[in-house]
Amino acid sequence: MALQARPLRADAVRNRDSLLAAAKQVFGERGLDAPLEEIARRAGVSIGTLYNHFPTREAFFDAILPERLAALELIAEAAMADPDPWTGFTGFLEGLFALQAEDQSLNDALARRLSLSEEVRASCHRGFELAARVIERAKESGALRADFGVQDLPLLVSAMSQVIRESADAAPQAWRRCLSFFLDGLHR
């Protein structure tokens, strides 16, 4: 989009990179509501500099989340590559939730995508588009119940996001059990 009229100064580039790295870490650990001051601290930069580079929390999201959300597309493609439509489908969900489990920022982003920027929403949407194909294929094969649709995915994501969040410390694998209940309910 708006390409830099003047290139950034060398120290500014360094700071921007540190901020992005710190933001990925902090949001990944503590979710999208993590305090921005923690990011500045971890980047070794003052809070003023943080605001200079990223005037809003959403600016961070736009800079970080689309790239991360692209992983969704890889997972969906891998699912389509699976010769068995059903294991492709289950593999997709496992991949999706494993992603959410290992990065709180993705977990939050997918769960409350509605309240995020146009740009981030578009990234989620792209992933869900591909998911739609995985779902359609599984339905056509008869392995996935006919009344399940993409529109149900957000429901699943929302439900699982909470299980992942709550059990992250005590039982980081608990979401797998929960998912297996769901999958058994979806299988034909």
Residues in contact with a second copy by CB under 8 A are 111-112, 145, 148, 152, 155-156, 158-163, 166-167, 174, 177-178, 180-186
* Residue that has been written with the tokens 């399940």 in this structure: 148
**Closer Cβ to a second copy, 36 or 148, answer by number:** 148
Q: Is residue 53 within the footprint of DNA (CB under 7 A)? A: yes
Separation of alpha carbons 34 and 163, rounded Å: 20
Q: Which residues, 17 to 36, sit near DNA by CB under 7 A?
A: 35-36
**Closer Cβ to DNA, 35 or 142, answer by number:** 35
> How many other CB atoms are there within 10 angstroms of residue 80's CB atom?
14
Q: State the SS3 of 19-81.
A: HHHHHHHHHHHHCCCCCHHHHHHHHCCCHHHHHHHCCCHHHHHHHHHHHHHHHHHHHHHHHHH
Among positions 2, 3, 10, 170, the unique one binding DNA when judged by CB under 7 A? 10
**Closer Cβ to DNA, 26 or 131, answer by number:** 26
Of a second copy, DNA, none, which one sits near residue 36, judging by CB under 5 to 8 A according to partner kind?
DNA
HSE (side-chain half, CA atoms, 13 Å) at 99: 23
Of DNA, a second copy, none, which one sits near residue 24, judging by CB under 5 to 8 A according to partner kind?
none
Q: Is residue 49 within the footprint of DNA (CB under 7 A)? A: yes
Separation of alpha carbons 77 and 3, rounded Å: 31
